[in-house]
Structure 1
Amino acid sequence: MTIKRIGIVGYGHLGKYLTDAVLERPDFDLAFVWNRSISALEGNIEGRFICRELEDIGQFSPDLIVEVAHPVISEKYGPHFLQVADYLVGSPTALASQNVENSLREAATNHGLYIPAGAFWGGEDILKMADRGTLKALKVTMKKHPSCFKLEGSLKAQNESIEGTDPSVLYEGPVRDLCPLAPNNVNTMAAAAMAAHNLGFDGVTGCLISDPKLTDWHIVEVDVTGPEVGGKNFNVKTVRHNPAAPGAVTGTATYASFLSSMVRAGGRGAGVHLC
């Protein structure tokens, strides 16, 4: 059995979940854990696993580095990570910046850049369509309770002003413009834009809906349009209900999904991979 050494960047709810999973699984070894606040690690993580400076990750000899902290990590450290190991981007909204996407693609020459599918159902099939050039349109709609959004700028004010129980469309348009306004909420859309590479962040449509009635679920709809046959377009639409309490940015099923992505990540060589 091949044992994969995992480095975790970020020790919030998801980072802690993944760290515990690594420590429990016989096919993983924990290489390191980094967190912006070191005090969150002390007393919870053995000192030998604590990384204090991300520039020093090479000293821990990881096979796979997993970011679950903040999109800015990929911008600042992504190319460095890829010099050391395979890199799983847990905040793919960072890639909405063309400069960041370009820098990571250029750096993924010896190790692989991995994009977790997360709540993006059917990603492998959509990737195949993009590879063949048969993917004509893709729309991802996310519906959540207002308290489940962590938004910036005009979207934050719009969400906070919602009254009553009717759903409100906060945004509908290119995923590229949405990612900076909702960096913690639309990683699924960013993964979709990477899988649908023939459309990209400008061609994939994102729709964000704030619904006060959604007290138990996060809902993700993926609407795929393919080639025209006999005057009609191929179409697939999926609807995913992810259990989530009010205030939860991440639905409960996403934790297990991300762990599955981490298990699948690594070892595929250079380039960009969906997992």
Structure 2
Amino acid sequence: MLKEAKRRIGIVGYGHVGMYLVQRIQEEGESHNVELAFVWNRTMERMEGAVDPRLQLQHLSEFEKCNADLIVEVSHPDITKEYGERFLSAANLLIGSPTALSNPDIEQKLRETAKTCGHTLYIPSGALWGGEDIQRMADRGNLKALRITMTKHPNSFKLEGALRKTTLQPINSRTVLYEGPVRDMCPMAPNNVNTMAAACMAAHTLGFDRVIGVLVADPSIPDWHVVEIEVTGAKNEKTGQEFTVTTKRCNPAAPGHVTGSATFLSFWSSLLVCTGHGGRVYLC
């Protein structure tokens, strides 16, 4: 019996999540039948002494030559904007910055590319708790509303545009930075609200325009990222009662980090699931 070929993984981005995934593949890849195809980062020096020079991809535009089976983007939504279609044409794609999909043109192009090429566009659950249940409700047509509140220490935010101005001033108490459709928030907090973007993909009947996001800065929680999810389902026609689910996830986080510690393991679990599920979008 022939031994199954190892799945070759390309890692795009060598920040905290990228470092973690590379290390896990280096240490445990043999037992999971995976190996590194390449690692790319904007600043190549960051990989010195940690990544075999033969695996360091100097120019991202040349990724095809590495023959990756799965490409994992854990860099910035701009990467998906520039390379998403090419990535998905060549391999399965795990998009760690799903805020990129708040651009309807990008979402549509990637959906079409997945369908045409037969590769899977994977959306990692990350810090989203209950994503599969939300997706099932959407599939059944029972999902009526979804509201997500993310609370972090002010130093954990990397904001852009209008929201950036709010963090330039000292925040001394719990402050709501934004409340409204997730689509409008994604360009202003591209590194902070990937959980909300993943929820929008799971809640596909609501999407980025009807899922409501609330972003809160709270200096009293320097070591935590808190995600609260409020799901509203169908109303019972006889009693008028609504189905509701509320969850609160408290994720330990190093001060100033945009990613909570439990999310790293979630990404690793998602990576292992990405074995190919056909030309579609798949929450993992």
User: Under a length normalisation based on structure 2, what TM-score does the superposition of the two structures give?
Assistant: 0.93
1:118 aligned onto 2:126: yes
Per-residue deviation at 1:79? 0.5
8 A Cα contact 1:91 1:184, kept in partner: yes
Give the corresponding residue for 1:209.
216
Number of equivalenced pairs: 274
Which residue of structure 1 aligns with residue 43 of structure 2? Answer: 37
Counterpart amino acid of 2:99?
Answer: T
Alignment partner, residue 67 of structure 1: 73
- Residue 57 of structure 1 deviates from its aligned partner by 1.6
Q: 1:87 to 1:163 in 2, by over 3 A?
A: closer
Q: For 1:268, what is the secondary structure of its paired residue? A: coil
Q: Contact between 2:102 and 2:208, CA under 8 Å: does it hold in 1? A: yes
* Aligned residues: CA RMSD: 1.2
- Per-residue CA shift, 1:20-70, capped at 9, x if unaligned? 111112121111111112222343221221112222222111110000011
2:61 and 2:134 mapped to 1: Cα distance? 36
More off after superposition, 33-42 vs 107-116: 33-42
| Separation in 2, partners of 1:245, 1:202 | 32
1:153 partnered with 2:161: yes
Equivalence for 1:9:
12
Matched with 1:220 is: 227
For residue 244 of structure 2, what is the aligned residue in structure 1?
A: 235
SS of the aligned residue for 2:24 comes to: helix
The aligned amino acid for 1:258 is: F
Structure 1 residues 260-269 or 71-80, which shifts more?
260-269
Partner of 1:18: 21
* Alignment correspondent of 2:96: 90
Measured after TM superposition, the shift of residue 162 of structure 1 is: 4.1
Give the partner amino acid of 1:6: I
Match of 2:137 in 1: 129
**Residues 174 and 206, structure 1, Cα contact 8 Å, conserved in 2:** yes
Query: Hey, what's the Cα distance between the residues in 2 that align with 1:158 and 1:34?
Result: 33
1:173-229 deviations in Å (ceiling 9; x for gaps) = 000000000000000000000000000000100000111111221100010000001
Measure the CA separation in 1 of the matches of 2:17 and 2:77: 15
Q: Is the partner of 1:158 in helix, strand or coil?
A: helix
Between the aligned partners of 1:63 and 1:102, the Cα distance in structure 2 is 22
Once the two structures are superposed, the pairs formed by residues 99-118 of structure 1 within 5 Å of their partners are: 99-109=105-115, 110-118=118-126
1:9 partner letter: V
Match of 2:269 among 252, 260, 269: 260
Against the structure 1 CA distance between its residues 163 and 58, is the aligned structure 2 distance closer, same or farther, given a 3 Å change threshold?
A: closer
Distance 2:113 2:257 in 1: 34
- The answer to whether the 8 A contact 2:154-2:171 is kept is no
CA distance, structure 2, for counterparts of residue 135 and residue 200 of structure 1: 11
User: Partner amino acid for 2:137?
Assistant: M
Return the letter of the residue paired with 2:15: G
1:203 partner amino acid:
R
Offset at 1:265?
A: 1.6
- Map of 2:190 onto structure 1: 183
Report if aligned partners of 1:171, 1:178 keep a CA contact under 8 Å in 2. yes
Any gaps of 5 or more consecutive residues in structure 2? Answer: none
On the 8 A contact 1:162/1:168 being kept in 2, the answer is no
The letter of the residue matching 1:153 is: G
Q: Distance in 2 between matches of 1:101 and 1:95?
A: 5
CA distance in 2, matches of 1:145, 1:160: 14
